Amino acid sequence: MIRYWPALASVLLSLGAITGYVAFLRVPAVRNHPELYLLAFAVATVIAAAATWQAARWPNFVALGLSVVLLILGGYFNFVLAKIPPAPAVLRVGEPAPDFTLPDAKGALVSLAAFRERTPVVLVFYRGYW
Amino acid sequence: MAELQGLGAVLTELGDEGVQILAISPDANEKSQELAQKLRARYRFLTDRDLEVTRRYGLLHAHGGNQGQDVARPTTVVLDRRGIVRWLQLADSIQVRPDPADVARAVRQLGS
């Protein structure tokens, strides 16, 4: 078993990257750097490929297969599925935000203009679930 | 709920300086508002049901929802008292969320 430690390290690195990302999703430094899990998958792939090159045994193939699949799926999610196409630049720093009036959770109308000369405002547009 | 708790923490950090957070989505609901009140955050959840304001702000992510529906591009905007945009974070990936520390810094720099 000892001679398969690179394969084992590769698998643990891949699984650890997934677990870590999910467990620390609330931490902006983790959440906003998805390239970290891709880096982990890439390193796991290199370790497993080197191990397979040294000894073409099944544990090494398993580790290589797992890390390659995760690297492809993770890359596809990160670079294709999760990408948002560029938007027209309506908001610019230094320019006024367009006014609006929208209902709050209880149906009361809230107007952006109502906060002018009173308080700074943070607008958070989100995808509809938290 | 990560964003909500995070931005709630920003408000706690900034103290009672009177920053108003307006959280805008197509389906803001009372549950979100109740949670905000529990966190004592100065949040108002606004419903942009047909995404009219989101579109006007140039923040529509067409077919970006998990059922292919239109959603908003996750965006955080800091406005000063005059309603001028002072700080802006537009996500280019659905994975990215505003970092409360960045928002807090931007609010502090308003020098209110």
Is A18 part of a structural domain of the chain? yes
Q: Phi and psi for A65 in degrees, rounded to 5?
A: -60, -45
We report the CATH number of the domain holding residue B32 as 3.40.30.10
pLDDT value of position A3: 84
Q: Is the confidence at residue B109, as pLDDT, over 90?
A: no
Assess contact for B54 and B60: CB atoms under 8 A.
Answer: yes
pTM here is: 0.80
- The answer to whether the CB of B78 falls within 8 A of the CB of A122 is yes
How many domains does chain A contain in total?
1
Q: Tens of pLDDT along A64-86?
A: 999 999 999 999 999 998 888 88
User: Does A80 lie at the interface with B, CB-CB under 8 angstroms?
Assistant: no
Q: Structural domain tally of chain B?
A: 1
**A62 occurs within a structural domain:** yes
Which residues in chain B are closer than 8 Å to A88, comparing Cβ atoms?
Answer: 58
Residue span of the structural domain in which B38 resides:
2-105
Q: What is the pLDDT of residues A45-56, one digit of tens each?
A: 999 999 999 999
Q: Would the CB atoms of A31 and B47 count as touching at under 8 Å?
A: no
Q: In this structure, is residue B112 part of a structural domain?
A: no
Residues of A in contact with B72 (CB under 8 A): 125-128
Could you tell me if A127 lies within 8 Å of chain B, comparing CB atoms?
yes
**Subunit contact A28:B97, Cβ cutoff 8 A:** yes
pLDDT, tens digit, for every residue of B89-98? 888 888 887 7
Reduced 3-state DSSP string for A3-65: HHHHHHHHHHHHHHHHHHHHHCCCCHHHHCCCHHHHHHHHHHHHHHHHHHHHCCCHHHHHHHH
Task: Indicate whether A45 belongs to any domain.
Answer: yes
Q: CA neighbours within 13 Å on the CB side: how many for A36?
A: 17
B12, B14, B22, B48: best to mutate for the A interface, most A CBs within 10 A = B22
Which residue would you say has higher pLDDT here, B69 or B87? B87
Question: Is residue A58 situated within a structural domain?
Answer: yes
